[in-house]
Structure 1
Amino acid sequence: MAKQKTEQNTKHLRENEKKWTKPLLDAGWTMIPNVIFERQQALGLDAIDINILLHLASYWWKAGDLPHPGKKRIADAIGREPRTIQRRIARMEAGGLIRRIERRVPGVGSKTNLYEFTGLITEATPFAAEKIQERKALEAARDAKASKKGKPKLRVVPKTTD
């Protein structure tokens, strides 16, 4: 089972290398569910917020190891002031989408904050369920249309962007 999953992951990586090229992927890549940027308005996000989330997510390598890039690093990357990043993060935090965890070192000061995404995941999940249902309905409609014409059923395989 583990071997099959590894082979599947390798296949997806190779497919993405065909799309993006190996050098670009070797330099690093970020996975984020499509529904987050497809439904950004419904989530109360705009393009700058999405850009900030992309940067935060790019530092989230393992589930238990929360990202902690500095606001200045994000600001420099997207051409905004650190204060803008701070305000946007505070707004997303007030909206319950992200949680900022301060890291203080006694006698030294502050380290960069940790960022947690449980709120965003919770808020985006109903949109994901809705999209899955839409896909299933589309597949059922295609199957019904194909069976009326006596054609074999076609299966819609969800497009992945790993």
Structure 2
Amino acid sequence: MAVAVGTTEVAQLKVNEKKWTPTLMKAGWTVLPNVIFERQRALGLDAIDINIILHIASYWWTKEGKPFPSKRTIAAAMEIEPRTVQRRIARLEAAKLIRREQRRSAVNGSQTNVYHLDGLIEAAKPFALEKIQAREAKALERAERVARKGKPKLAIVK
């Protein structure tokens, strides 16, 4: 399914290609808001949890199309046991950061779970708002400082 991409998104993609190279960007990339890993301890997450979330997010391409990677796929990429991934996802679900939805098929029976990250998004929002407010306060403080001082009155000495 083709997704319409606006000019802003295309420009940002080109910036990212300059940073990461077109080859790496063509191989795939994942979006994760900075506040999630910057405030991971406050969210009750550790490095393994963040890695699992990154893997789940890497399969989330559209808002409506929720990701459904297998625990075995995640475990293989992280070089840990599938049971470890299963326990960690259960813990993330108990913390209401992830919600699992079972998928079943009449032909194949049980399939990989669909993952919803709505809980993580809601839990991270207060930290994002806090970061935005701090950034805005700092910008206002800087603007006030510049306005108080006025333009520099230095002259070139010869």
Is structure 2 residue 91 aligned with structure 1 residue 97?
Answer: no
- Aligned residue runs from structure 1 range 47-126, under 5 A: 47-106=47-106, 108-126=108-126
SS at match of 1:114: strand
Q: Which 4+ stretches in 1 moved above 2 angstroms?
A: none
Structure 1 counterpart of 2:34: 34
Report the TM-score, using the length of structure 1 for normalisation: 0.88
- Aligned residue runs from structure 1 range 115-154, under 5 A: 115-151=115-151
| Bigger radius of gyration | 2
In structure 2, C-alpha distance between the alignment counterparts of 1:62 and 1:10, rounded to whole Å: 17
Q: CA RMSD in A?
A: 1.4
SS at match of 1:63: coil
Q: Deviations over 1:84-128 (max 9, x none)?
A: 000000000000000000112235321100000111011000000
In structure 2, C-alpha distance between the alignment counterparts of 1:118 and 1:108, rounded to whole Å: 28
SS at match of 1:16: helix
Structure 2 counterpart of 1:6: 6
Aligned residue pair count: 148
Report the TM-score, using the length of structure 2 for normalisation: 0.90
**Per the alignment, do residues 138 and 21 of structure 1 end up closer, same or farther by CA in structure 2, a change over 3 Å counting?**
same
Structure 1 counterpart of 2:17: 17
Runs (5+) with no aligned partner, structure 1: 153-162
SS at match of 2:40: coil
In structure 1, C-alpha distance between the alignment counterparts of 2:151 and 2:68, rounded to whole Å: 53
Runs (5+) with no aligned partner, structure 2: 153-158
